[in-house]
Every structure is written in C-alpha cells, then in structure tokens.
C-alpha cells in the first residue's frame, strides 16, 4: 500500500468512526427487521421502510429505495435476507448516482485569474465558522493561498471565533468591528485577497436573518459589492446544515434554497448522532450537491462527501 492508500485508509476509518452512532442504530434496526426471516418478502420490505424512515432518510427517498428493492425482488425471484445489506448499499448508491452530480475528489479548485470566492451561509449554530476553519486548513494543505472574511458582524464572539480558526490554520483574516456592514467586510476581503494573489476567499456570514426578506437582501448586497472586485463572485454559495437535527436540516435546506442561490451543501455534526441517514435523503432530494460532511469538531474532521463510500460505511 502506497502513501495514498494509507492516507485514504485513515480517512475511511475516521468516516466509519464518525458515523458510528448512525451505523449502530441502522444495524440494530435492520437486524430486527429481518428477525426469523430467510427471504426478503413484503413484511421485510415493510419493516425496511420503517427502518429507513426512522433513520431520517426521509419519506420520499425511502419510497424510492423500497421501490428499487421491490423491483430487484421481482427480477431475482429470491433474495435472502443475508444479502439485504449489500443490496441496500448497491441500490442506495445507484439512486444517489442518478442525481448525476460528479463527486468532488479532493480539495482542489478551478484555476482562475481572480481568487475563487466561497460564501458560506446557514442559520446560527449549524457549524459555518467551524466548517470554514476546516476548509481553510484543507485548502492550505492542498497548497492554496487562503484569505478569510469575517462578515458575520452581529456578535463580537463570531468574529473572534473566526479569528481563532485563522490563527490555528495560519491564514490571514479580514475583519472590522462588530456591527459594521457585512458587505463592506466582504469588499475589503476580496480587495486584499486580490492584491495578495490569493487563490481562495472564504466569507463567513450571519444566519440570524433566516426566513426574512432581510436575509435575502443582505446576502444579495454582499454579492453585489463583491462583484465590484471580482465580477463573477461568488463562485460558490455553500449552505451549511446541522445533520444532527435530522428533518429540520431538510426544512432549512428547503427554505434557504428558495430564497438564496445555493450551489453546494455541507452537513455537519454527523458524529454523535443517529440521524446520519439524513445525508442520503438530502443528497437525493436536492439537485444541489452535498460536497462536505463534518464528523467532529477538530480541524481534520471535515471530509469530502463521496456517495458510494458514505453508503458503504453506513451499511457495512
């Protein structure tokens, strides 16, 4: 095994570890669903439906999965319950592939003349600032020059928290005082990043204005002002969702995508929750790709979401 093999083995282990609560819960429920059964019949399928729904996969996605397995039972005539895990893995992975959003393979970014601008949005407490710190770390590891912009100016603590991450990762941060105009912070950040030849800018934003016209107008103001420096900014609008809230994360995704042009998703806090199935539902239901998953509070606890690997980890 080469260096890369070892590296990805470690990543896989931390993914397994991070998802352990969900894995355990799914495993127990699945065992109960097939108890005393040798083949996959209607009763097993009913139980399976319940397992998926109670694992936060969501009703619509669960029904799609069940339909696929029914078709498979029809086709193959006989399916043993001992094959159920591997069939689930195959069918869920295949379902998620149908969305046809290419998996991101590493922390790389498109080459461009101007810095690549990533704006991070989401409600308070979901893990935006933490995800930004982890992203900055990964981009830096990948050899990119990173600048952070503290445009969540509502609380001094929010700015300070981003500063702590900037120090930890050792990247510059552009900040102003608490209460200053977020758009002005974003403008300064892009100016500075452009002048210093940075590769990527990550802009933190406030989530307090959720559900209000205010949020929309604030985010579009930030965009408009950034475009004075980098005409095609932001290149990416990353919506961060707290996976441990299960169906609430779904609701937030719905709300946000209605009001903001979200281009990618991150699901955090998958460690310490049994609701990790929500990633499958969100990945299926939204045409916006889930790009990152958070599996802990530490700097290395952010992973790129790879559908097949995720499903494999959950049902193994």
Q: What residues make contact with Mg ion under the rule CB under 5 A?
A: 128-129, 158
| Torsions phi, psi for 314 (to 5 deg) | -70, -35
| Per CB under 6 A, 297 contacts ligand GDP | yes
Tokens of 226: 């950034």
> What is the C-alpha to C-alpha distance for residues 77 and 203, in angstroms, rounded to an integer?
54
* Residue nearest to Mg ion according to CB distances in the complex: 129
* Residue nearest to ligand GDP according to CB distances in the complex: 294
In whole angstroms, the minimum distance from the beta carbon of 142 to Mg ion comes to: 23
In whole angstroms, the minimum distance from the beta carbon of 28 to ligand GDP comes to: 22
Where b means 16+ CB within 10 Å and e means fewer, 78-99 reads ebebeebbebbbbbbbebbeee
Intra-chain end-to-end CA distance of the chain, in Å: 22
| C-beta of residue 107 within 8 angstroms of C-beta of residue 141 | yes
> What is the C-alpha to C-alpha distance for residues 41 and 89, in angstroms, rounded to an integer?
18
In whole angstroms, the minimum distance from the beta carbon of 204 to ligand GDP comes to: 7
In whole angstroms, the minimum distance from the beta carbon of 187 to ligand GDP comes to: 21
In whole angstroms, the minimum distance from the beta carbon of 287 to Mg ion comes to: 27
| C-beta of residue 162 within 8 angstroms of C-beta of residue 108 | no
Name the residue nearer to ligand GDP (CB basis): 44 or 182. 182
Name the residue nearer to ligand GDP (CB basis): 83 or 297. 297
Give the interface segment with ligand GDP, choosing from 221-229, 248-256, 293-301, 306-314 (CB under 6 A): 293-301
Q: Which of 53, 208, 272, 285 binds ligand GDP (CB under 6 A)?
A: 272
Query: 3-state SS of 160-201?
Result: HHHHHHHHHHCCCEECCCCCCCHHHHHHHHHHHHHHCCCCEE
| C-beta of residue 70 within 8 angstroms of C-beta of residue 114 | no
Give the interface segment with ligand GDP, choosing from 95-103, 126-134, 222-230, 254-262 (CB under 6 A): 126-134
Pairing, β 290-294 against β 302-304: antiparallel
234 binds, among Mg ion, ligand GDP, none (CB under 5 to 8 A by kind): none
| Per CB under 6 A, 126 contacts ligand GDP | yes
Q: Which of 22, 260, 264, 268 binds ligand GDP (CB under 6 A)?
A: 268
| Per CB under 6 A, 248 contacts ligand GDP | no
| Per CB under 6 A, 301 contacts ligand GDP | yes
Name the residue nearer to ligand GDP (CB basis): 207 or 281. 207
Q: Which of 25, 55, 129, 138 binds ligand GDP (CB under 6 A)?
A: 129
Cis, bond preceding 234 (omega within 30 deg of 0): yes
In whole angstroms, the minimum distance from the beta carbon of 155 to Mg ion comes to: 8
């Amino acid at each position: 095994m080469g260096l890369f093999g070892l590296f990805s083995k470690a990543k896989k282990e931390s993914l397994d570890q991070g998802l352990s609560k969900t894995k355990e819960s799914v495993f127990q429920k699945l065992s109960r669903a097939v108890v005393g059964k040798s083949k996959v019949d209607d009763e097993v399928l009913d139980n399976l439906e319940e397992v998926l729904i109670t694992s936060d996969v969501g009703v619509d996605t669960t029904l799609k999965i069940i339909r696929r397995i029914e078709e498979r039972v029809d086709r193959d005539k006989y399916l043993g319950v001992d094959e159920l895990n591997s069939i689930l893995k195959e069918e869920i992975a295949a379902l998620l592939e149908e969305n046809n959003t290419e998996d991101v393979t590493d922390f790389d970014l498109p080459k461009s003349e101007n810095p690549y601008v990533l704006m991070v949005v989401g409600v308070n407490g979901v893990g935006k600032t933490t995800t930004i710190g982890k992203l900055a770390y990964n981009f830096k590891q990948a050899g990119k020059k990173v600048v952070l912009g503290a445009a969540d100016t509502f609380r001094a603590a929010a700015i300070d928290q981003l500063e702590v991450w900037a120090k930890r990762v050792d990247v510059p941060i552009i900040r102003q005082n608490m209460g200053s105009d977020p758009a002005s912070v974003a403008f300064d950040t892009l100016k500075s990043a452009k002048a210093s030849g940075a590769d990527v800018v990550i802009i933190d934003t406030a989530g307090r204005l959720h559900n209000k016209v205010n949020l929309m107008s604030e985010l579009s103001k930030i965009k408009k002002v950034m475009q004075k420096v980098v005409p095609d900014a932001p290149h990416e609008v990353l919506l961060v969702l707290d996976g441990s809230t299960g169906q609430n994360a779904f609701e937030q995704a719905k709300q946000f995508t209605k009001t903001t042009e979200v281009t990618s998703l991150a699901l955090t806090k998958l460690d310490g929750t049994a609701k990790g199935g929500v990633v499958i539902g969100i990945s299926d239901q939204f045409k916006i790709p889930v790009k990152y998953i958070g599996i802990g509070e530490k700097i290395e606890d952010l992973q790129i979401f790879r559908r097949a690997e995720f499903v494999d980890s959950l049902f193994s």
